[in-house]
Amino acid sequence: MDYNAFRHFADSWGLLYLFVVFVGVVLFMFRPGAKKHAEMAAQIPLKDDRSPQGEE
């Protein structure tokens, strides 16, 4: 497969593949029940479940 053939393949099917992945991610995030999981994930950085370094 030479450069021109690969470039043509990437321009056509690569764009279609990335679009399908994007639509899949959007549909995955807007599925029923996703709000609870998204809120839990958003709270992860705010959890203080470890003691400061050096203290136990």
Q: Does residue 28 form part of some domain?
A: yes
- How many structural domains does the chain have? 1
Specify the pTM: 0.58
| Domain with 29 in it | 3-46
pLDDT of residue 47: 84
45 CB burial (10 A radius; 0-12, 13-18, 19+):
exposed
Q: Does residue 51 form part of some domain?
A: no
Q: Does residue 53 form part of some domain?
A: no
Alpha carbon dihedral 24, 28, 32, 38, in 10-degree steps, equals: -160
The mean pLDDT values, 10 residues at a time, for the chain of 56 residues are: 88 91 93 88 83 62
Helix, strand or coil for residue 4?
A: helix
Q: Does residue 56 form part of some domain?
A: no
Q: Does residue 54 form part of some domain?
A: no
Distance CA 44, CA 48 (A): 9
